[in-house]
A and B are shown apart, each in its own frame.
Chain A
Amino acid sequence: MVPLNYIARNLWKRRLTTALTAGGLALVVFVFATVLMLDAGLKRTLVTTGEYDNVVVIRKGSDTEIQSSISRAQANVIEMNAAIAPGADGLPRAAKETVVLISLHRRGSEQPSNVVIRGTSPAGLQLRPQVRMTQGRLFRPGSSEIIAGSSIAKGYDGTRIGERLRFAQREWTIVGIFDAGASGFDSEVWGDADQLMQAFRRVSYSAMVLKLAHGDLLERMRAEIDADPRFSGEVKREQVFYSDQSRSLSTFISVLGLALTAIFSIGATIGAMITMYASVSNRVAEIGTLRALGFRSRSVLAAFLLEALLLGLVGGVIGLAGASVMQLVSFSTTNFQTFADLSFRFLLTAEIAAKTLVFSLLMGFVGGFLPAVRAARLNIVDALRAA
């Protein structure tokens, strides 16, 4: 075997070339990693939005809470379903909610974005244990008070504590900021359901959230609701409901990102190949000497492949380091399915880090393979003569 030390020194000897090649690889790795991180962040955000035992009921045929409507009478029927867990007060743990969009201005922007405003009740808050007040207090039921999610408070005008928003002919005071553990609720504004319905002149709720007494009762509840002629509702686990809502956004991000990475990796692999070919042709005499000293052609092949892999690794580590900085940044965009703004973070998981490094090694390997084969095939006598 050719010593590793020798391989590493070759890269060091030609620092500019190594830096340029590794830089190209690093940029590709960076794009690859950030796309995966964005998708992971989106999925994490929507999975944590739902609780496993919680169930969302919407009108059949609608895909989102905003499209759905459930009349007060229907809501009362659903609330009496035996599968719903009773609360400490003996009442069913169910929240009848109204969900609409309002347009708010993003800080420092003239263009409005749609933000979800959710009318809920104390029962609704209990159903989402991940929601904690970080500043101020909860809205008082029966008042024009609202609370804003942490992403909203950061990104939109007029959403700090004490500030007022005007919509639906009323002034609404922000009395608190809540943190929902990096879930989709962070991109929402919450208030009292009855007050919001009154203001928006709505006579029906949008959706219901229920807690099952037991995780297995979902099928029974679905069958009962399907059989009930008074209402045609769709019952879904909260987690499934939210991940369904972002399916097209998630597909869009991963398809676009991976297509880009595929194209870019061609460029970077070509860069690695050029570098490795040059590395071989500069050292023909050296290779001849190594072979004359008794190193087998297999060892020469391995040495050049290792050099290429090391180059890939350097690029991969730099790219990954750059991508991990992106974790500090949050990304917000409109979810095409709900038309509402959703903000989420870049999330670096161990799996993504591993995938990224494998990807960078792969680019190094593909780029280095042909040059290494050329090095291994050199004829000893011809190679020595080149000196």
Chain B
Amino acid sequence: MNAPKLIVRNALRHRLRTGLTVTGLLVAVLAYGLLQTVVDAWYAGAAASSGARLVTRNSISLVFSLPLSYENRIRGVEGVSAVARSSWFGGIYQEPKNFFPQFAVSDNYLSLYPEFILPDAQRAAFLRDRKGALVGRQLAERYGFKVGDALPLRGTIYPGTWEFIVRGIFDGADEGKVTNLLLFHWDYLNETLRKSATLRADRVGVYVVGIDNPDNAAAVSLAVDAVFRNSLAETLTETEQAFQLGFVAMSNQIIAAIRIVSYVVILIIMAVMANTMAMSARERTAEYATLKALGFGPGFLATLIFGESLAICALGGGLGLALTPSAAAAFKSLAGGVFPIFAVSAETLAAQAACALAVGVLAAIVPAVRAARIRVVDGLRALG
């Protein structure tokens, strides 16, 4: 007998039930894909950061700054090629919910970040204007910033309203680079502080340290920290990647919860699918007995049941996979810039497919075993 034909006929016998199951699978596979993408988006900043740059910060915590005088001492450490200043500004654009990172940076900062691509004319215009600012492409698109726009920020750490003029918009060198940020002149911040809050002037949030050879990152980090041991501001130097991962780790229980929940959705759909297969198999007990009486072995019955289960899962999973990229795009625009990078990775798609396959296989096991074990006489007696 033609097994594929029988499988398709069986699957279409209860169209409503099959349709509902396929819908359930579609929703589950889609939800799983989106959740995995949310987790990936969390790590996007760390994944795209370089292992060839170090970040030197105050060892107590990021709240404490470092003296300006450290810059030249770090530059003197063997293996260091460049040192740039960067201070977290923490300003509010219009409303607190419009959060994006802002850094006051020294002029050589951009040369340490070759992955930020900026036209030369805009770079020159930025360097000329003390109040100039650079915004990333993702940020510019989020709020519609254009070159020449005035951009006021209300300082939370540094009081007052700070006026900036957008002098350039930079792009990321590749898709994965987060450009949801604003850069402005550290000198502007420092000069203002010298007038208004002398004690807070000449301080630097973190130093970004470029090194000659990425393989020496660990040795250079230790050498930098050794210079400042037992000083008023001891330092902690780590690669930019480790620094970024530190931020991600702070919310790792939330990420863990999202991960767990994304497996829960698979469990839920597994219950639904297993239920569908169990019901279909129970209703067909008499048929299976008939097939056995005709001489078909347990292997054939198993093929029928597994085939039907897998066919339904392939359909539901396939639709879910096909819809994932457009759902992710919709989610990204709904989230309104919370996730600057929100791309469905190939691993996620593969995991979705694997989950659909696993659901199909697991849901068929119990009914297949039952059908294989059934005695012909009992089965024929069953009314379904």
Interface residues of A (CB under 8 A from B): 14, 16-17, 20-21, 23-24, 27-28, 30-31, 59-64, 66-67, 100-103, 109, 111-114, 167-169, 200-201, 203, 232, 248, 256, 260, 263-264, 266-268, 270-271, 273-275, 277-278, 282, 331-334, 339, 341
Contact = CB atoms under 8 A, between A and B. Distances in A.
Contact of B272 (A30, A268, A341): A268
Nearest to A252: B254
Interface stretch (B109-117, B140-148, B154-162, B188-196): B154-162
Given A102-B61, A264-B265, A267-B268, A21 B156 contact: no
**Dominant secondary structure at the B interface:** helix
Q: Which 6 A-B pairs have the closest CB atoms?
A: A334-B250, A111-B249, A271-B272, A24-B271, A20-B275, A270-B24
A274 B21 contact: yes
Given A20-B274, A114-B62, A267 B24 contact: yes
Contacts of A17: 275, 278-279
Q: Please tell me the size bucket of the interface on B.
A: 35 or more
A198 to B, nearest CB: 12
14 contacts: A24-B268, A60-B159, A63-B96, A101-B63, A102-B60, A114-B62, A248-B96, A264-B268, A271-B268, A271-B275, A274-B17, A274-B20, A277-B16, A331-B253
A62 B157 contact: yes
Interface in B23-44: 23-24, 27-28, 30-31, 35
Given A111-B245, A168-B60, A341-B250, A27 B276 contact: no
A321 to B, nearest CB: 16
Interface string B231-261: 0101000000000011001111110011001
A58 B81 CA distance: 42
The CB with the most chain A CB atoms within 10 A, among B159, B234, B252, B268, is that of: B268
Contacts of A275: 275, 279
A339 B154 CA distance: 19
Contacts of A23: 271
A232 B251 CA distance: 34
Interface of B: 16-17, 20-21, 23-24, 27-28, 30-31, 35, 59-64, 90, 96-97, 154-157, 159-160, 199, 230, 232, 234, 245-246, 249-254, 257-258, 261, 264-265, 267-269, 271-272, 274-276, 278-279, 282-283, 366, 384
A27 B267 contact: yes
Contacts of A168: 60
A31 B261 contact: yes
B272 A103 contact: no
Given A62-B157, A274-B276, A278-B279, A111 B261 contact: no
A167 B27 CA distance: 51
A266 B156 contact: no
A264 B250 CA distance: 27
